[in-house]
Amino acid sequence: MRNTMSAYQVAVVGGDGIGPEVVNEGLRVIEAAGVSLETHNYDLGGARYLRDETVLPDSVLDEWRNVDAIYLGAVGTPGVPPGVIERGLLLKMRFDLDLYVNQRPFKTDTHDFVVIRENTEGSYAGEGGVLRKGTEHEIATQGSVNTRRGAERCIRYAFELAQSRNQHLTLVHKTNVLTFSGDLWQRTFDAVSKEFSTVETAYNHVDAACIYFVQDPQRYDVIVTDNLFGDILTDLGGAVSGGIGLASSANLNPARSGPSMFEPVHGSAPDIAGQAKANPIAAILSGALMLDFLGESEAAKRIERACEACVEVEGSTSEIADAVVAKL
């Protein structure tokens, strides 16, 4: 649907809480950077669910298959049972659009590093079930699904990224305890590494990686890890690199068989919604990741540098975005 006058077609889900506020600023900054988007708004998220029980209709997913990208603020509203929006919207997007890489970059004062999180398998796959619910004999299992193909395509993406950066890739897992899935990941990692002779490799257990994130993040360039470890580690990554208000993410379909999705790592923060208190930088940086993936790397770089110059700026949501625009 990339049409004539070269406006990118972007599906926008502002979502709940602070989501619409930060996404609007992101779109404003992209425009100011000179990239033209034709946006298509979708009213989805917890508030929509509470209104009419709509989560993510297949018809919407079908429309999204034809856009260039999806830009999402945040979803989640108090009063919606856990899992409805997470599984029904976010994970459905990741799975059905095959967004198999979740790329989350981090910057400290002295360096930057990237976590590549597998985004379609592991403990998120939904394997498991419950028996004898509510009785004293209740049993619940929640398995972790790891396929050779799923691990391999994610690991290969991470190697390619490391090759384009500083030639260093760390696998993070828990191979000493998760001896089945960890072994699959380790063997796949070792096999793919043979294709990338210039990339130096390392391995850390996930618990040790938590210490290194806090005490010695300089050791990392690119990290690759499974879905759940990546979820937890990237919140920690945000916390040690300026706070979750700066953390951006790209849910990528690197095969480009459909659109990719870009969203800040933070949630909908209902406690500060509507007060212009949200920091829009994470959403703006997610917009920059979107432009970069669309091939607008020059505009993406300018937005990223402008954001870097504004991490100390205080003010309302739109004042922070104004400061970014002024630095472009």
Binders of ligand IPM in range 67-106 (CB under 6 A)? 86, 90
Closest distance to Mn ion from the beta carbon of 235 (Å): 6
- Does residue 231 bind Mn ion (CB under 5 A)? yes
Q: Binding marks (x or -) toward Mn ion, 132..151, rule CB under 5 A?
A: --------------------
CA dist., res. 155 & res. 185, Å (int)? 9
CA torsion through residues 194, 111, 242, 306, sign? negative
- Does residue 118 bind Mn ion (CB under 5 A)? no
Nearest residue (CB) to ligand IPM, 238 versus 280: 238
CA dist., res. 68 & res. 10, Å (int)? 6
Using an 8 Å Cβ cutoff, are 258 and 6 in contact?
no
Mark out the alpha helices in 76-180 (DSSP H runs): 84-85, 92-96, 148-164
Q: Which stretch binds Mn ion (CB under 5 A): 3-11, 76-84, 230-238, 250-258?
A: 230-238
**Cα→Cα distances 295→28, 68, 299, 300, Å:** 19, 11, 9, 9
- Does residue 292 bind Mn ion (CB under 5 A)? no
Nearest residue (CB) to ligand IPM, 86 versus 308: 86
Q: Which two tokens stand for residue 130?
A: 């419950």
Comparing every residue's Cβ against ligand IPM, the nearest one is 86
- Does residue 16 bind ligand IPM (CB under 6 A)? no
Binders of ligand IPM in range 217-276 (CB under 6 A)? 231, 265
Closest distance to ligand IPM from the beta carbon of 5 (Å): 34
DSSP output for 88-107: IIIIHHHHHTT--EEEEEEE
**Sites of contact with Mn ion (CB under 5 A):** 231
Contacts with ligand IPM by CB under 6 A lie at: 86, 90, 231, 265
